[in-house]
Amino acid sequence: MSLTEIQDQIIEEFSQFDDWMDRYNYLIELGHDLPAIDPKFKTDEYLINGCQSKVWLHAEYADGMMKFTADSDAIIVKGIVALLVRVLNNQEASEIMNADLYFIDKIGLKENLSPTRSNGLVAMVKKMKMYSLAYHAKHKGQ
**Active-site annotation, residues:** 51
Distance (Å, whole) CA 95 – CA 101: 11
Beta-bridge mates of residue 47: 56
Selection from 27, 110, 102 nearest residue 72 by Cα: 27
Euclidean distance between CA atoms 34 and 87, whole angstroms? 12
- Strands 65-72 and 55-62 come out as antiparallel
Cα Rg of the chain, angstroms = 15
The CA distance from 61 to 142, in Å, is: 12
- Specify whether the CB–CB gap between 69 and 58 falls below 8 A: yes
